[in-house]
Amino acid sequence: MSPIDALLQIMTLEEKLGQLNMATGDHAVTGPGLADDLTEGVRAGRIGSILNLWGAEKIAALQKIAVKESRLGIPLLVGFDVLHGQRTIFPIPLGEAAAFDSSLWERTARAAAVEAAQDGIALTFAPMLDIARDPRWGRIAESAGEDPYVASRFAEAKVQGFQAASLADAGSVAATAKHFCAYGAAFAGLDYGPVDMSERLLHEVYLPPFAAAIGAGCAAIMPSYNELCGVPMTIHAPLLQGFLRERHGFDGVIVSDYRAIPELLEHGVAADLAEAAALALVAGVDIDMVGKAYLESLPVALARGLVTIEAIDAAVRRVLRLKDRLGLFEDPGRRGSVRTEAVAEVEARKALAREAARRSIVLLTNDNVIPLASDLRRIALVGPLADAPAEMRGPWYAAGDPAGPIGIREGLAAALPGCEIACARGVGISDGDTSGIAAALEACAGADLVVLALGEAAAMSGEAACRADPGLPGRQEDLARAVLDLGKPVVALISSGRPLTIPLIVERASAVVATWFLGAEAGHAIAEVLTGRFAPVGRLPVTWPRHVGQVPIFYAARPSGRPADSDNQYSSKYLDMPTEPQFWFGHGLSYTRFTLSSPRAGATVIRPGESIPVMVDVTNAGPRAGEETVFLFARDVVASVARPVRELVGFSRIALSPGETGTVTFSLDAASLCCLGPDLEPRLEPGDFVLFVGQSADPARLLAIPLRAIAG
């Protein structure tokens, strides 16, 4: 008998349910409800895991109670949301996704895991893998954007980074792929709202990142709050059992979202807590986060015959197995044991935060005003984000110190010692007070150039932070208009957790830069890009709309029988604005100019199981060194089911000196050309495909390569 089975044999029902009960600490508030009396609960064996608590000493003290004072001595599992760094804060995931760099994604997760583990944490509720195509939804900030291929690569990189070679390592934390699934498709972008979508869309777009996470060995999965076609994900047996466990062989832990089990009563699918608990357990949820429904109501459900003790045992076994894989039985204190670290390691993480931040910045437009001229003597730095270091953390800043991040003002001042920087806020981020605009204009008076630092507060994206109008909040547009009217060169920096609808700024500013929330090194990274010490490389992982009325907007739409045509009244278009986005998925400028030529494939046909090389030459035709990201899209021209106009099947980067030409080579698997048949099983349909290579999803700038799929 395995040690875990032996343990199960001597556990009381209450001790078993204790292992399925996750209580909350009070180091972070991530939902409603009061923090529990952890000490008593742990001692009594009623709490098997804890969230929202960090700090080596505190966790060690509780761990000691669990191990030494509870009857069975089972160690605790401590979890925390480490979305983009624990103490060293990296860019928000949407920003980091813009780097299109799997190695970077993995390295920042690794660094975050090391710090989280030092703080005693063994489980993180990340990566967040929801496809997000609606910028009204605040949690787009936590996502890798709109595309399932990108989110799948992000999933693999993050899981590898968090979990490293072995979960038992003192510097590893178990990853939780969340939120399973379709959470980002809530009607009207409203968080926690219902979702209704076709099985096809679900399987083509929303599920693949979770399959990728499982493939990478992800230890845990969290069902989302939303209901899907009437069934809350917390009790969605066909997806939790059928898709995750049976189809993809997921044998890790499923942890509910915060109070999601009692909330089944609000959903109207359970009459009381016992029913709610039974439905969740039977569907496959092992841990009840903060709901206390398992602890208090599974005994009732058991008595009513709604659940079996075998189902409870199976869940307990999975939880104990995770604790075992994390090395907690062997040495409950291995995480949190590093008290002091070599300065070099701390510095290395800071350098990584700078690298991640600079690579996440996306240059949206540039009228040759940046990099800034070296002879600038006076700059006005104006706007509510100009000197707002704490905001740079963005949402979900874990244990990040509010005083930690480098703000824009500090970064620019350090990078431009010979330049006078006149700073003025002008207006607040979201209030209605315009009385500071006059002083801001005064600050601009003697300036050679204005840097306009606009955008959102960190708390305006993330959970429960939806915006019906994702434009510039408050009176920032008034400030922007007044500054732009001065006729000086204006560089607009947009700090935000989502693409903002800013047509005025795009039209009138000399340069627009998406700076998301870049974390600890934000100001330095922005300064590096503005001064040209680093040439921007970021590309949009999400389509940037002109207006909220275009939402949801994404590049991989299915074709219409009547595509937009300005000469044809009866075509798919708006009367009041273009159908094209403000910026396409993949858009992002550099300080040089790249041209693509000679697109080609290693074969003209492809069979199931094969993979072929696809190449394109890239020339740096501009004056400076730079890096280009090249995207590979595919289109199945005629299929049994209409295919999207383009689907991403690869991305790659190349660094080139001025005048240099290099070749980007993709390896294209036949599997990535598969579509889902009527049975939703993948199949390669023989016939014509077109591959496209390009610098973004903008159809006007893609180079086509014909390819034919033939039966094997």
54 binds ligand BGC (CB under 6 A): no
516 binds ligand BGC (CB under 6 A): no
Q: Which CB sits closer to ligand BGC, 286 or 463?
A: 463
Residues 86-105 within binding reach of ligand BGC (CB under 6 A): none
Tokens of 457: 């507060």
Alpha-carbon distance values, 222 to 183, 268, 399, 592, 657 (Å): 11, 21, 22, 43, 45
Closest approach of ligand BGC to the CB of residue 449, in Å: 41
Q: Name the DSSP class of 247.
A: I
Q: Name the DSSP class of 139.
A: G
Q: Which of 7, 23, 51, 98 binds ligand BGC (CB under 6 A)?
A: 51
φ, ψ for residue 279, nearest 5 deg: -60, -45
Q: Which of 27, 31, 674, 698 binds ligand BGC (CB under 6 A)?
A: 31
Q: Which CB sits closer to ligand BGC, 178 or 292?
A: 178
In which region does residue 493 sit, left (phi positive, over 0), alpha (psi from -120 to 50) or beta (all else)?
beta
Q: Which CB sits closer to ligand BGC, 85 or 588?
A: 85
193 binds ligand BGC (CB under 6 A): no
CB 460 within 8 A of CB 488: no
Number of H helices, E strands in the chain: 20, 26
CB 391 within 8 A of CB 373: no
The pattern of x and - marking residues 263 through 282 that bind ligand BGC according to CB under 6 A reads --------------------
Q: Which CB sits closer to ligand BGC, 19 or 234?
A: 234
Closest approach of ligand BGC to the CB of residue 458, in Å: 16
The pattern of x and - marking residues 530 through 549 that bind ligand BGC according to CB under 6 A reads --------------------
Strand partners, 675: 683
DSSP track, 447-489: -SEEEEEEE--GGGSSTT---SS-S--TTHHHHHHHHHTTTS-
Alpha-carbon distance values, 412 to 96, 404, 440, 484 (Å): 22, 16, 18, 21
Closest approach of ligand BGC to the CB of residue 21, in Å: 15
The pattern of x and - marking residues 405 through 444 that bind ligand BGC according to CB under 6 A reads ----------------------------------------
Within 8 A by CB and 6+ apart from 630, the residues are 596, 616, 618, 651, 652, 653, 654, 664, 693, 694, 695
Q: Which CB sits closer to ligand BGC, 51 or 553?
A: 51
Burial of 678 by CB count in 10 Å (0-12 exposed, 13-18 middle, 19+ buried)? Answer: exposed
Closest approach of ligand BGC to the CB of residue 84, in Å: 13
Residue-wise burial string across 290-310, b where 16 or more C-beta atoms lie within 10 A, e elsewhere: bbbbbbbbbbbbbeeebbeee
81 binds ligand BGC (CB under 6 A): yes
Q: Which CB sits closer to ligand BGC, 225 or 555?
A: 225
φ, ψ for residue 683, nearest 5 deg: -150, 150
Q: Which CB sits closer to ligand BGC, 257 or 521?
A: 257
Catalytic residue among 257, 288, 324, 636: 257
**SS3 assignment, position 96:** helix
Within 8 A by CB and 6+ apart from 277, the residues are 261, 288, 293, 294, 297, 298, 301, 307
Question: Site for ligand BGC (CB under 6 A): how many residues?
Answer: 9
257 binds ligand BGC (CB under 6 A): yes
Preceding omega of 179 cis (within 30 degrees of 0): yes
Closest approach of ligand BGC to the CB of residue 258, in Å: 4
Closest approach of ligand BGC to the CB of residue 33, in Å: 11
Closest approach of ligand BGC to the CB of residue 177, in Å: 11
Closest approach of ligand BGC to the CB of residue 160, in Å: 20
258 binds ligand BGC (CB under 6 A): yes
Closest approach of ligand BGC to the CB of residue 52, in Å: 6
Tokens of 339: 């008290």
Residues 327-346 within binding reach of ligand BGC (CB under 6 A): none
Q: Which CB sits closer to ligand BGC, 222 or 449?
A: 222
Q: Which CB sits closer to ligand BGC, 219 or 492?
A: 219
Tokens of 175: 């990853």
What whole-number distance in Å separates Cα of residue 339 and Cα of residue 118? 7
Other Cβ atoms within 10 Å of 431 Cβ, number:
11
CB 388 within 8 A of CB 427: no
Q: Which CB sits closer to ligand BGC, 291 or 474?
A: 291
What whole-number distance in Å separates Cα of residue 313 and Cα of residue 329? 19
Closest approach of ligand BGC to the CB of residue 528, in Å: 32
112 binds ligand BGC (CB under 6 A): no
178 binds ligand BGC (CB under 6 A): yes
Closest approach of ligand BGC to the CB of residue 541, in Å: 20
Q: Is 251 a catalytic residue?
A: no
The pattern of x and - marking residues 456 through 485 that bind ligand BGC according to CB under 6 A reads -------x----------------------
Q: What share of the chain is helix, strand, coil (3-state, %, to 5)?
A: 35, 20, 45
Q: Which CB sits closer to ligand BGC, 285 or 450?
A: 285
What whole-number distance in Å separates Cα of residue 603 and Cα of residue 619? 24
Q: Checking DSSP bridges between strand 661-669 and strand 611-620, what pairing results, if any? A: antiparallel
171 binds ligand BGC (CB under 6 A): no
Closest approach of ligand BGC to the CB of residue 349, in Å: 23
Q: Dihedral (C-alpha) 309, 315, 319, 320: value to the nearest 10 degrees?
A: 40
**SS3 assignment, position 180:** strand
Q: Which CB sits closer to ligand BGC, 465 or 525?
A: 465
What whole-number distance in Å separates Cα of residue 198 and Cα of residue 212? 21
CA atoms within 13 A on the CB side of 300: 12
Closest approach of ligand BGC to the CB of residue 310, in Å: 29
Residues 570-609 within binding reach of ligand BGC (CB under 6 A): none
Q: Which of 125, 554, 594, 631 binds ligand BGC (CB under 6 A)?
A: 125
Q: Which CB sits closer to ligand BGC, 258 or 689?
A: 258
* Residues identified as active-site: 257
* Site residues for ligand BGC per CB under 6 A: 30-31, 51, 81, 125, 178, 257-258, 463
